[in-house]
Chain A
Amino acid sequence: MIELDNRNALSAEFTELAEFILQTAQAKGASSAEVGLDKGTGLSVEVRMGAVDKLQYHRDQGASITVYFGHKSGNASSSDLSRRSLEDAVEAACRIARYTSEDEFNGLAAAELMAQDIPDLDLYHPWDLNAEQAIELALQAENTARDYDARIVNSDGASVDSYAGLGVYANSHGFSGVISNTHHSLSCAVVGKENDSMQRDYWYTLSCMPDGLEQAHHIGQRAAERTVRRLHGRSMSTREVPVLYVPELARGLVGHLVSALSGSAQYRKASFLLDAVGQPVFPDYVQLREEPHLPRTLGSRAYDAEGVATKARDVIRDGQVQGYFLGSYSARKLGLATTANAGGCSNLLLQDSGLDFDAMLQALGTGVLVTELIGSGINMITGDYSRGAAGFWVENGEIQYPLEEITVAGNLKDMFMGIRAIGNDIDQRGRVQTGSILIDRMTVAGE
Chain B
Amino acid sequence: MMQESTLDYARHALLAPGGVTESDLDKVFAQLLTRDTTLADLYFQSARYESWGLEEGIIKNGSYRIEQGVGVRTVCGEQTGFAYSDEITTSALLESARAARAISRSGETGAVQAWQAQAASRYLYGMDDPLASLSEQDKIDLLKRIDSQARAASPYVQQVMANLVAVHETILIVDEQGRMTADVRPLVRCNVSVIVERNGQTESAMSGGGGRLDLGYFLQDERADFYAQEAVRQALVNLEAEAAPAGNMKVVLGSGWPGVLLHEAIGHGLEGDFNRKGTSAFSGRIGEQVAAKGITVVDDGTLEQRRGSLTVDDEGTETQCTTLIEDGVLKGYMMDRQNAALTNTQSTGNGRRQSYAHLPMPRMTNTYMEAGNYDPEEIIASVDKGVYAVNFSGGQVDITSGKFVFSASEAYMIEDGKLTHPIKNATLIGNGPDVLTKVSMVGNDPELDGGIGVCGKEGQSVPVGVGQPTLRVDGLTVGGTSAG
Q: Which residues of A line the B interface, CB within 8 A?
A: 48, 51-61, 73-80, 85, 88-89, 92-93, 95-103, 106, 131, 154, 156, 191, 198-200, 230, 233, 235, 238-240, 268-270, 372, 374-377, 379, 381-382, 384, 386-388, 390, 404-411, 443-447
Which of B67, B159, B279 interacts with A269 by CB under 8 Å?
B159
Q: Which B residues are in CB contact (< 8 Å) with A101?
A: 58-60
Q: Is the CB of A374 within 8 A of B62?
A: no
Q: Is the CB of A377 within 8 A of B407?
A: yes
Q: Which B residues are in CB contact (< 8 Å) with A102?
A: 58
Q: Is the CB of B62 within 8 A of A100?
A: yes
In the complex, 12 of the A-B residue pairs with CB atoms within 8 angstroms, ordered by the A residue number, are A53-B80, A55-B79, A57-B84, A76-B65, A95-B136, A99-B52, A99-B139, A131-B102, A269-B158, A375-B405, A387-B479, A388-B403
Of B19-27, B107-115, B302-310, B422-430, the segment with at least 4 beta carbons within 8 Å of chain A is B422-430
Lowest 8 CB-CB distances: which A-B pairs, in order?
A: A407-B479, A388-B405, A101-B58, A375-B405, A200-B400, A96-B62, A445-B246, A377-B427
Q: How far is the CB of A344 from chain B (nearest CB, A)?
A: 18
Q: Is the CB of A76 within 8 A of B407?
A: no
Bound-state Cα–Cα, A96 to B400, Å:
46
Q: Is the CB of A48 within 8 A of B277?
A: yes
Contact of A57 with B99 at beta-carbon distance under 8 Å, contacts A78-B66, A80-B66 already known = yes
Q: Is the CB of A388 within 8 A of B429?
A: yes
B83 within 8 A of A: yes
Contact of A405 with B102 at beta-carbon distance under 8 Å, contacts A58-B357, A100-B60, A191-B400 already known = no
Q: How far is the CB of A288 from chain B (nearest CB, A)?
A: 25
Q: How far is the CB of B358 from chain A (nearest CB, A)?
A: 9
Contact of A405 with B403 at beta-carbon distance under 8 Å, contacts A386-B427, A388-B396 already known = yes
Contact size range, B: 35 or more
Contact of A409 with B481 at beta-carbon distance under 8 Å, contacts A76-B64, A79-B68, A199-B400 already known = yes
Q: How far is the CB of B359 from chain A (nearest CB, A)?
A: 7
Bound-state Cα–Cα, A332 to B413, Å:
43
Bound-state Cα–Cα, A58 to B358, Å:
9
Which B-chain residue is minimally distant from A444 (CB atoms)?
B246
B248 within 8 A of A: yes
Bound-state Cα–Cα, A57 to B96, Å:
8
Q: How far is the CB of A96 from chain B (nearest CB, A)?
A: 4
Q: Is the CB of A200 within 8 A of B398?
A: yes
Which A-chain residue is minimally distant from B66 (CB atoms)?
A78
Interface string of B129-141 (1 = CB under 8 A from A): 0000000110110
Bound-state Cα–Cα, A33 to B103, Å:
45
A-facing residues in B55-81 (Cβ within 8 Å): 55, 58-69, 78-81
Which B-chain residue is minimally distant from A157 (CB atoms)?
B277
Q: Is the CB of B63 within 8 A of A239?
A: no
Q: Which A residues are in CB contact (< 8 Å) with B396?
A: 374-376, 388
Of B1-9, B196-204, B460-468, the segment with at least 4 beta carbons within 8 Å of chain A is B196-204
Most chain A CB within a 10 A radius of its CB, from B52, B83, B407: B407
A-side interface mostly: strand
Q: How far is the CB of A260 from chain B (nearest CB, A)?
A: 13
Bound-state Cα–Cα, A447 to B479, Å:
11
Which of A381, A388, A444 interacts with B203 by CB under 8 Å?
A381
Q: Is the CB of A387 within 8 A of B425?
A: no
Q: Is the CB of B159 within 8 A of A270?
A: yes
Q: Is the CB of B62 within 8 A of A74?
A: yes
Q: How far is the CB of B166 from chain A (nearest CB, A)?
A: 13
Q: How far is the CB of B192 from chain A (nearest CB, A)?
A: 14
Q: How far is the CB of A408 from chain B (nearest CB, A)?
A: 7
Q: Is the CB of A390 within 8 A of B403?
A: yes
Q: Is the CB of B277 within 8 A of A386?
A: no
B393 within 8 A of A: yes
Q: Is the CB of A154 within 8 A of B279?
A: yes
Interface string of B178-217 (1 = CB under 8 A from A): 0000000000000000010100001110000000000000
Which of A55, A200, A377 interacts with B401 by CB under 8 Å?
A200
Q: Is the CB of B480 within 8 A of A100?
A: no
Contacts A57-B84, A75-B64, A375-B427 known; list 10 others, CB within 8 Å. Answer: A54-B81, A59-B85, A74-B63, A75-B61, A103-B58, A191-B278, A191-B279, A199-B400, A270-B195, A270-B204
Which of B55, B64, B398, B478 interacts with A96 by CB under 8 Å?
B64
Q: Which B residues are in CB contact (< 8 Å) with A103?
A: 58, 60
B394 within 8 A of A: yes
Q: Which residues of B line the A interface, CB within 8 A?
A: 52, 55, 58-69, 78-87, 96, 99-100, 102-103, 136-137, 139-140, 158-159, 161, 195, 197, 202-204, 244, 246-248, 277-279, 281, 357, 359, 393-401, 403-407, 424-431, 477-483
Q: Is the CB of A445 within 8 A of B478?
A: yes
Q: How far is the CB of A225 from chain B (nearest CB, A)?
A: 16
Q: How far is the CB of A276 from chain B (nearest CB, A)?
A: 14
Contact of A384 with B65 at beta-carbon distance under 8 Å, contacts A52-B103, A53-B79, A269-B159 already known = no
Q: Is the CB of B102 within 8 A of A55?
A: yes
Bound-state Cα–Cα, A405 to B401, Å:
10
Which B-chain residue is minimally distant from A272 (CB atoms)?
B202
Q: Is the CB of A60 within 8 A of B357?
A: yes
Bound-state Cα–Cα, A407 to B58, Å:
40
Q: Is the CB of B84 within 8 A of A59?
A: yes
Q: Is the CB of A100 within 8 A of B59?
A: yes
Which A-chain residue is minimally distant from B140 (CB atoms)?
A99
Bound-state Cα–Cα, A154 to B280, Å:
11
Contact of A405 with B195 at beta-carbon distance under 8 Å, contacts A75-B64, A240-B483 already known = no
Q: Which A residues are in CB contact (< 8 Å) with B86?
A: 59-61, 79-80
Most chain B CB within a 10 A radius of its CB, from A95, A97, A382, A407: A407
Q: Is the CB of B397 within 8 A of A405?
A: no
Bound-state Cα–Cα, A58 to B137, Å:
39
Q: Is the CB of A375 within 8 A of B395?
A: yes
Which A-chain residue is minimally distant from B82 (CB atoms)?
A56
Most chain A CB within a 10 A radius of its CB, from B68, B244, B246, B396: B246
Bound-state Cα–Cα, A191 to B274, Å:
12
Q: Which B residues are in CB contact (< 8 Å) with A99?
A: 52, 59, 62, 136-137, 139-140
Q: Which B residues are in CB contact (< 8 Å) with A58?
A: 84, 357
Which of A55, A79, A390 interacts with B66 by CB under 8 Å?
A79
Which of A77, A106, A268 interacts with B65 by CB under 8 Å?
A77
Which B-chain residue is minimally distant from A235 (CB atoms)?
B477
Q: Which B residues are in CB contact (< 8 Å) with A409?
A: 244, 246, 426-427, 479-481
Bound-state Cα–Cα, A57 to B81, Å:
8
Q: Is the CB of B407 within 8 A of A386?
A: yes
Bound-state Cα–Cα, A100 to B66, Å:
20
Which A-chain residue is minimally distant from B83 (CB atoms)?
A57
Contact of A52 with B79 at beta-carbon distance under 8 Å, contacts A375-B405, A446-B247 already known = yes
Bound-state Cα–Cα, A200 to B402, Å:
10
Bound-state Cα–Cα, A53 to B405, Å:
30
Q: Is the CB of A156 within 8 A of B277?
A: yes
Most chain A CB within a 10 A radius of its CB, from B140, B279, B427: B427
Q: Is the CB of A56 within 8 A of B83?
A: yes
Q: How far is the CB of A325 from chain B (nearest CB, A)?
A: 19
